[in-house]
Chain A
C-alpha cells in the first residue's frame, strides 16, 4: 500500500504549508528586528568613519572601534561638517552619512542623474580630515571602506570591510596589518596627477617604507580582493578629485 506521505496531494499540501510557515515566520522575525538592525548599521557607519580618521580604541594589534554607547557623541564632536557634492554644487547635510552608495551608483547609470557624493569633514587636534566613502567588488561580494585624507591628499587612515570574502585570505582586508599600510601613502603621483593606491604583489616593500610609490603590499592568497580594493580606490576616489584638488590650492 502506498504510504500516506507519498501521495502527490500530500506532497503539494506539505510544500505549500511549509513555504507559508517558514516564509511568514522569517518575514515576521526580519520585520520585528529591522529597527534594531538598522540602528546597529547606522552606528557602525559612524564607527567606521571615525576609525578612518584615527578616532578609535585601537591597541597595538587589534581593530577596536569607539564603543557604540559613545559613538553618536564622538561623531558629532569630531565630524564638523558633512557635505554632498553634486557636480559643482556643494551642499551641507547633516545626514550625508546615511546616503547609500549602492543606490547612488545604480541611479547614476542613467545619464540624466547627477550622482550625490557624500564627504565627511572632520577635525582632530586642529587639523582637518577629509573622509571619502567607497564601495566596490571583492572576490565573492561587496567590499567597502572609508579613506581619510589631509589637505595635501596624503592618506591619514583607512577602514575596509567586506560582506563575504574568504576567511583567512580576502577577509583580512579589515585587519590592522593591511589597513595600517595605507597610512601616509600618497594618492597623487610625482606629477601631481591622481594615481590611487595599488595593492601590489610585486612592490617588494613589506615594511612599507616607500610612501610615494602609490602602492601597498598585497595579502598572499587574496589577489582578487586586493585588486578590488585598488579598483575601488581608483574609481570612487577619482570622482572626488575635482573637489579635493581645490583643497591643495
Chain B
C-alpha cells in the first residue's frame, strides 16, 4: 500500500465526479459564475482555492477539539479570513505584481461556500491528513468545473483561449469570422455561466449511474 489508502484516494477522487462541490452539492456557484468569463481567471481562482482550502482544512482539523461548538462558524470564518489576509499581505510586500492579479480573488475566496462547507462537514470531524486530502479533492473538483466553464465561455464569447485568439480575428474578419461567424457576447454574462453549469449537471446526471434518481 502506498502513501494513500483506498479510502484516502476516494477523498480526492469523489469530489471530482460523483460528489462534485459545484454540480452535485451546488456550493461555490457564486464565484463559478462571476469569474469564468476567461480561462485564465478560472485557473488562478482554482489555484487560490486549492491553497486556502488545503491549508484551512488542516488548521480547522487541528483545532477541532478545542473549538466551542456554539461559535464554530465564526471561528471558521476567522481562520479562512486570516489565512487569506496573511497571504495577501506577504504577496503585497514581496510579489507586488502577483498580488495585484490576485487581489480581486481574495474577497471571493473568503465568501466561497465550498470552504466553509468543507470546514463544517469534514475538517471538524476528521484528522489533519484526511482533511488535507479532502480539501485538495474538493478544490480540484471545483477547479474542473471552473476550467470547463471558463473554456467554453472564453472560446464562444471572445473567440480566444488564455487570451490567445484561436478562431481568427473578429475585427479583421479572418479565420472562422471570414465565414460569417460571430462571437456570442451573451456567453460573457453571468446567466450563460449558470446555463453552462446546468448543462454540465445534465450531462453528468445522465452519464453517472450513481446519480440517476427514480
List residues of chain A with CB under 8 Å of any chain B CB. 3, 5-6, 10-11, 14-15, 18-19, 22, 25-26, 29-30, 33, 36-37, 40, 44, 61, 68, 161, 163-169, 171, 206-207, 220-221
Contacts and interface: CB of A to CB of B under 8 A. Distances in A.
A167 B104 contact: yes
Contacts of A30: 89
Given A33-B90, A166-B35, A40 B96 contact: yes
Interface of B: 34-38, 41, 44-45, 65-71, 74-75, 78, 82, 85-86, 89-90, 92-94, 96, 100, 103-105, 107, 154, 157, 163, 171, 185, 188-189
A5 B67 contact: yes
Given A5-B69, A11-B68, A22-B78, A167 B96 contact: no
6 contacts: A14-B75, A68-B96, A167-B35, A169-B37, A171-B41, A220-B185
B-side binding surface: helix, strand, loop or mixed?
A: helix
Kindly list the 4 A-B residue pairs having the minimum CB-CB distance in the complex, ordered from nearest. Answer: A168-B37, A168-B38, A167-B41, A11-B68
B85 to A, nearest CB: 6
Nearest to B154: A168
B89 A29 contact: yes
A44 B103 CA distance: 15
B78 A18 contact: yes
B93 A18 contact: no
Contacts of B75: 14, 18
